[in-house]
Amino acid sequence: MTVGFAYSPALDAYDLGPGHPFRPERVSLTAALLADYGVLGPGALAPLTFDPATPDALLRVHDEEYLRAVRAASHAPGSWPGGRGIGPGDTPAFAGMHEASAAIAGATCAALSRVLEGRHDRAFAPAGGLHHAHRERAAGFCVYNDVAIAIAAALERDPGLRVCYLDIDAHHGDGVQEAFYQEPRVLTISLHEDGRYLYPGTGSWRERGAGPGTGTVLNLPMPPYADDRCYLYAFEQAVAPAVRAFAPGILVTQNGADGHWSDPLTTLGLTIQGYEALYARITTLADETCGGRIVACGGGGYSWLTVVPRIWTLLAASLLEHDLPDELPDAWRQRVREVGGDPPTHLRHDPGPTLDDETRERVWHDTGLMLRQALAG
Ligand SMILES: [Zn+2]
């Protein structure tokens, strides 16, 4: 199994400012943990070279006026008047915004093309997964929609390709869904906290695609507090059958770690072990449906110091099919202390959410109800 790793410290320049929850350390501490476990390098996660996405590549998903706006905000963030989703709030302007965003898009594009060319079996692009960016505006911490840009480029190179995009971020993958809403060659699946309770508000099971893309959108809005059992059940009941029926050539996954019960921005109930179990299901499903080909991106995740790097390390281990020892390397624990964190001793250590039995049963019941609606159409 050869797995490409599309990351360089230059991508940490995607920094929305001090105090913003979308910390670049989420990714750099993941890369550090992988290095400290000794799985970065030839024979394991192989560094993959990439260039920034070109304007032509960006324009497959975004419009020209939006690109001009991002460049202007990037060049002079202090005098940016606002608009196009860039400004105070979720997605503030910062110097070098265009370059950093184009670099992340380039990393995801390279990850996808290398796997499709057969140079790697799988790839991991941990800074990617900026799924909320829209055609004409930034949104939800996302400037350029790297995933949609990479998939659009792959479809242009190989018009016969079929792609399954699977998004397990706590938030609905609205930007990617929008880009391929009428596209029959892309199946977009999103499991997320129900939009009635969480940003961006979309992602109802009633959204199913349009025109020639009718039936190629599957949304599974999970009730607040949905836990490992609910997610694994939704995966077996709805995700796996949909992917098998679609028969994709490759799986592109967005792995936001903000469904973790400790995440400060969401209200879900996943544990680290739950993520590991989901990743195992995803790799098995890829083996069964598309020759094991997976390109995995990062995404959200705001328990950034100690939880997100551990979840994404387990994601990389699942791609490598490599079992990591549970004891965390001392070097990594020291790095976490240096940036003000209190590191746990074990990779999978997780006390889990504290939910009373009544809530747990209600959430389980509501998950079943949602699945029946989503599967019935
Ligand atoms: Zn998210």
SS3 call for 372: helix
C-alpha span between 179 and 130 (Å, rounded)? 13
The closest alpha carbon to 2, from 49, 55, 39, belongs to: 39
158 Cα–ligand 1 center, Å: 30
Q: What is the bridge-based pairing of β-strands 163-167 and 294-297?
A: unpaired
SS3 call for 357: helix
C-alpha span between 132 and 203 (Å, rounded)? 12
> Which run of H or E residues covers position 45?
strand 45-47
261 Cα–ligand 1 center, Å: 13
Q: What is the CATH number of the domain that holds 307?
A: 3.40.800.20
62, 120, 131, 132: the catalytic one is 132
Site of tokens 């019935």: 376
Q: Which residues contact 310 (CB under 8 A, 6 or more apart)?
A: 33, 272, 328, 344, 347, 348
117 Cα–ligand 1 center, Å: 30
C-alpha span between 276 and 253 (Å, rounded)? 14
C-alpha span between 244 and 317 (Å, rounded)? 24
DSSP states of 176-226: HHHHTTT-TTEEEEEEEE-TTTSTT----TT----GGGTT-EEEEEEPTT-
Q: What is the bridge-based pairing of β-strands 217-222 and 250-254?
A: unpaired
- Beta bridge partners of residue 187, listed in sequence order: 164
Quote the mean pLDDT of the chain. 97
State the pLDDT at residue 43.
Answer: 83
Stretch 45-62: mean pLDDT: 98
The closest alpha carbon to 364, from 259, 190, 232, belongs to: 232
pLDDT beyond 90 at 269: yes
Ion ligand 1, residues whose Cβ is below 5 A away:
169-171, 256, 258, 300
Per residue in 70-120, pLDDT tens?
A: 999 999 999 999 999 999 899 999 999 999 999 999 999 999 999 999 999
> Which run of H or E residues covers position 57?
helix 55-59
pLDDT beyond 90 at 42: no
Domain count, the chain: 1
C-alpha span between 195 and 142 (Å, rounded)? 18
Per residue in 315-346, pLDDT tens?
A: 999 999 999 999 999 999 999 999 999 999 99
Full domain range(s) for residue 333: 3-376
Per residue in 119-176, pLDDT tens?
A: 999 999 999 999 999 999 999 999 999 999 999 999 999 999 999 999 999 999 999 9
Respond yes or no: is residue 120 known to be catalytic: no
The closest alpha carbon to 54, from 2, 105, 5, belongs to: 105
Stretch 276-296: mean pLDDT: 98
Q: 257 is written with which tokens?
A: 């770690």
Contact status, residue 154 vs residue 112, Cβ threshold 8 Å: yes
pLDDT beyond 80 at 69: yes
pLDDT beyond 90 at 236: yes
39 Cα–ligand 1 center, Å: 27
Instruction: Identify which has the larger pLDDT, 19 or 230.
Output: 230
Tell me the pLDDT band of 304, cut-offs 50, 70 and 90. Answer: confident
168 Cα–ligand 1 center, Å: 9
C-alpha span between 161 and 155 (Å, rounded)? 6
Tell me the pLDDT band of 1, cut-offs 50, 70 and 90. Answer: confident
356 Cα–ligand 1 center, Å: 26
